[in-house]
Amino acid sequence: MVFSSLSFLLLFLPAAVVLYFAVPRRARNLVLFLISLVFYAWGEPVYVVLMLFSTVVDYVHGLLMARWDGRPAARRAVLISSVLINLGLLGFFKYAGFALTALNQALSLSLPVPKVALPIGISFYTFQTMSYSIDVYRRKCPVQRNIISFGCYVAMFPQLIAGPIVRYVTIAQELDCRRETWDQFYAGVKQFILGLGKKVLLANSAGLMWSGISAQSAASLSALTAWLGILAFAFQIYFDFSGYSDMAIGLGRMFGFTFPENFRYPYTARSVSDFWRRWHITLSTWFREYLYIPLGGNRVSVPRNILNLALVWLLTGLWHGASWNFLVWGGYFGLMLILEKFVYGAALKKAPAAVGWAYTFLTVLVGWVFFSFDDLGAGARYLSAMLGGGAGFWDAAALRLLLDYGLLLTLCAAASTPLPAAWFARLGARRPRLHAVLLGALLVLGFALCLTYVVDAGYNPFLYFRF
């Protein structure tokens, strides 16, 4: 029997937790490092070597910067070496085929295109190891002299393959000195089950709806069906990715680590810039800290600022995948952010909150069309259907979708806001015993439903594993 990634995680986790807490505290980094390698090897047995190579490269480069602490030129050369090696690996495995194919098409060449499988999570762990080298160079964090502790940071299985992107400086102290507590462990279990529920019960259900709609010819879709489809995709990708992030953060808590928040109710944003302060926060932070600010950030002329924003967002799109649709998606959001900052941002701030939210949400939904279709032509046809260029504006099929999926979409919309959590927190303040009983029942019931779904369902993808 072939297990899905989620099935394997659920089977793997109890043994990992028992083994971790069974060993003396001084051996826990080693155990976590080893079980992380086993977890990664289940999906990518060959590319474990690549991840270990990246680990050794940046570990050694950190030691070299410490050794040549008083030699600025040498430290800078070491940093450049680290960045070039990391980007070289990422470029070869993720972008070489795309670049050579584009070059062949543009210049009518016949250069051989290597067929290399994309290592799972390479974009995530490469950015993490690069952040270590850069922060050591900037003297924002101490050099890690224990290679097991550094390997534990790079390979840590909870967030290895789909984030959040954890900068070394964030958990440097916890790597060397942490105290796991039962309260922290319980908080981690709660967040893990919450994330599991978001992924299995909401994301997978919305994904089935989107799969059914996107498989149809755009010419056969009414505008209402097309809008319902991209709404389903918006909920799928949000609950899939934020669900995995919650699972990773929860697992980190169980092992004594505090990983950064990665989502903060992005679909409640009232501007595109606000959306990107709430969506995949660790990626946005990485690009801001290591690219946008070094390029000058906001402290440059308007033309240069526009160029910086355009570059950052084109690279953000490219980070998600070696495909033209991701470049278009990144360029689209770069353009919207530039317009918002320099053209109508002030007016948007003065507009009613509902106007800002509607503008932002519609902008994001259009962006998800570019993101979801690898074929730009298919994406353009889908956008046309959303504007009524398919089978009219509504039809019986759209009404059936509303009847079949109306409750699911309503639940997803509610869960995308802070209202359920706020209501539950108020209940805890007013009736703590009822809150405790209800919370326990929800956790047990939710976990049981998720297990049932994972065992029975064949549709169980993690969208961000491919990035």
Give the per-residue pLDDT at 296: 92
- Indicate if the pLDDT at residue 211 is higher than 50: yes
Cβ density class 371-401: b for 16+ within 10 Å, e for less: bbbeeeebbebbbbbbeebbbeeebebbeeb
The pLDDT-based confidence of 461 (bands split at 50, 70, 90) is: low
Per-residue pLDDT tens for 343-397?
A: 999 999 999 999 999 999 999 999 999 999 999 999 999 999 999 998 889 889 9
Mean pLDDT of 311-337: 95
Q: Which residues are catalytic?
A: 320
pLDDT in tens, 214-236: 999 999 999 999 999 999 999 99
Which two three-digit tokens encode residue 431? 């009736």
Radius of gyration of the chain measured on its C-alpha atoms: 23
Q: State the alpha helices, DSSP H only, in 177-264.
A: 182-197, 204-214, 223-254
Q: Is the pLDDT of residue 297 over 90?
A: no
**What pLDDT shows up at residue 282?**
95
Both tokens of residue 467? 């990035």
How confident is the model at residue 460, as a pLDDT?
Answer: 59
- pTM for the complete prediction? 0.93
Which of helix, strand or coil describes residue 111? coil
Angle formed at CA 87 by CA 85 and CA 93, multiple of 5 degrees? 100
CB-based contacts of 3: which residues, under 8 Å, 6+ apart?
Answer: 11
Amino acid letter for position 448: A
| pLDDT of 2 | 35
